[in-house]
Amino acid sequence: MKADPKNVLTGSHYLDGNHASAEGGIAAGCKFFAGYPITPSTEIAERVSRRFPLIGGVFIQMEDELASMAAILGASWGGVKSMSCTSGPGFSLMMENFGLGIMLETPCVLINVQRGGPSTGLPTLPGQADMMQARWGSHGDYEVIALAPDSPQESFELTIHAFNLSEKYHMPVLVMTDECVGHMTERVVIPPAEEIELVERRYTDKEPGEAWPYEPTEGGVSPFLPVGKGYKFHVTGLTHDYRGYPVINAETQETNVRRLIDKVNNHVDEIIWLEEKDVEGAEIVVMAYGISSRVIQPAITKARKEGIKVGQIKMVTVWPFPEKRVRELAGQVKSLIMVEMNYGQVFLEMDRCAAGKCQTYLVGHAGGTVHNPDDIYKTIKEAVK
């Protein structure tokens, strides 16, 4: 299905990442936005609140982030594409109902414009230290999908992609941007609506009385049951069987949790999106995501000019982690370097997957500013030894 031209501001714009994220959501057909103001994400809510009235959407500023996340789940079950945005402390509050969204298998999109933490931290400065919270922030075992845009253009595109993934895999999908991308203003090209491909919700074709919300299917995702059509279905945050009925025992827990894990794990090859450059024959590969994937460029250019064989991987999806690719590379390269604005959250995964087959390096710091390219260059020099 193509995007609705009414929602798409086709043309060339000069937008910051937050405004571009808002346009991405709107282009994807989002018609319900519930949020709570928090720096540095608020411009997303502000733009949505301006744009929605004339295109049939509802923006509501909720009493807190707990309510915002709960409301977008409710609206999504009502059949409306829904999203919210937040940052640091708000992300912590949303984790409760993010878990409910995972458990109820509810499509929606949550944008976290990361700032420095912990706690109130650095409200106006960038960080990438919520990456492990994105992965494990809500209690229990589950898989997540998290995307990391590196620019306003990607903020637009990846928000649409996040909606598509959420509708495909029936789960909340995270867009993990940061203050730098959110407040960076660049050219954003919004294509014509007919060039924007959207995944629409797949509803059951069974009759009421014959359909259950979590029937086992080959891909692990059951068709959605619509509200108000006589299906009279039940869904619960408790461990449940295919009928959506709570069943409190280890066996059902195993089936339920495996379902949440497998529907992502069995499709990692489709979900994982990496952009590789000069990796073939490289001695050193620098991995980064979001804004950090741009900051590594001067260091790599400098090192390559000196004849160092250094390649790069931009992780457009951070979760699920590209485990297979990193294991493969670890057997081929001398060193893997992770560059991120934290003290080694995604690095831990890279290091685990390298499994001692190559050297691993972290270029990390506590956030508040992007990296100094010299620090990355120095690590490349160190790694090539």
Partner 1 sequence: MTTKVTEKRMQEREEHPMERLLRMDRIPHIWCPTCGIGTTVTALAVALKQLQLDLNNVAIVSGIGCTGRVAGYTKLDSFHTTHGRAIPFALGLHIARPDLKVIVFSGDGDLVSIGGNHLIHTARRNVDITVICVNNFIYAMTGGQVAPTTPITARSATSPYGNYEHPFNIPLLAASSGAVYVARWTALHVRRLTVAIKEALTKRGFSFVEVIAPCSTLYARLNKLGSGLDLMKFYHDNSVIRHGADPKEVNIDYQSKIAVGKFVDIEKPTYLDCLNNAYKKKFGDKYKPYGGGNGDK
Residue number with CB closer to partner 1 (212 or 347): 212
Out of 203, 259, 261, 265, the residue judged to bind partner 1 by CB under 8 A: 203
C-alpha pair distances (Å), 36 with each of 63, 152, 158: 7, 22, 22
Take residue 191 and report the two structure tokens written for it.
Answer: 């294509």
Shortest Å, Cβ 7 to partner 1 = 14
Q: Are 318 and 289 in contact (CB under 8 A)?
A: yes
Shortest Å, Cβ 166 to partner 1 = 15
Cα 266–Cα 272–Cα 275 angle in degrees, nearest 5: 160
For tokens 């590594």, name the residue.
296
Residue number with CB closer to partner 1 (189 or 227): 227
Take residue 294 and report the two structure tokens written for it.
Answer: 């741009």
Q: Which of residues 104-143 bind partner 1 (CB under 8 A)?
A: 104
Say how many residues touch partner 1, by CB under 8 A: 48
Residue number with CB closer to partner 1 (63 or 218): 63
Q: Are 169 and 270 in contact (CB under 8 A)?
A: no
Shortest Å, Cβ 34 to partner 1 = 6
SS3 category, 265: helix
Q: Which residues of 205-239 are buried (b: 16+ CB within 10 A; e: fewer)?
A: eeeeeebbbbbeeeebbbbbbbeeeebebebeeeb
Q: Residue 237, interface with partner 1 (CB under 8 A)?
A: yes
Task: Output DSSP code: residue 22.
Answer: H
Q: Residue 226, interface with partner 1 (CB under 8 A)?
A: yes
The span from the CA of 34 to the CA of 177, in Å, is 19
Neighbours of 302 (CB within 10 A): 17
Can you say how many angstroms the Cα of residue 85 is from the centroid of all Cα atoms in its chain?
12
Instruction: Decide: residue 200, CB within 10 A, 0-12 exposed, 13-18 middle, 19+ buried.
Output: exposed
Shortest Å, Cβ 49 to partner 1 = 11
Q: Residue 79, interface with partner 1 (CB under 8 A)?
A: yes
Q: Residue 305, interface with partner 1 (CB under 8 A)?
A: no
Shortest Å, Cβ 8 to partner 1 = 18
Which span sits near partner 1 by CB under 8 A: 36-44, 96-104, 268-276, 287-295? 96-104
Residue number with CB closer to partner 1 (15 or 173): 173
Residue number with CB closer to partner 1 (11 or 53): 53
* Residue 185 bridge partners (DSSP): 16
Q: Residue 229, interface with partner 1 (CB under 8 A)?
A: yes
Shortest Å, Cβ 69 to partner 1 = 8
Q: Residue 97, interface with partner 1 (CB under 8 A)?
A: yes
Binding mask 15-54 for partner 1 (x = CB under 8 A): ----------------xx-x------------------xx
Residue number with CB closer to partner 1 (27 or 34): 34
Binding mask 145-184 for partner 1 (x = CB under 8 A): ----------------------------------------
Q: Which residues of 58-84 are buried (b: 16+ CB within 10 A; e: fewer)?
A: ebbebeebbbbbbbbbebbbeebbbbb
Residue number with CB closer to partner 1 (56 or 216): 56
Residue number with CB closer to partner 1 (58 or 199): 58
Sequence-separated (6 or more) residues with CB below 8 Å from residue 80: 31, 32
Name the nearest CA neighbour of 198 among 111, 267, 109, 266: 109
**Which stretches of the chain bind partner 1, using CB under 8 A?**
31-32, 34, 53-54, 56, 58, 60, 62-64, 66-68, 70-80, 82, 96-97, 99-100, 104, 203-204, 226-238, 245-246
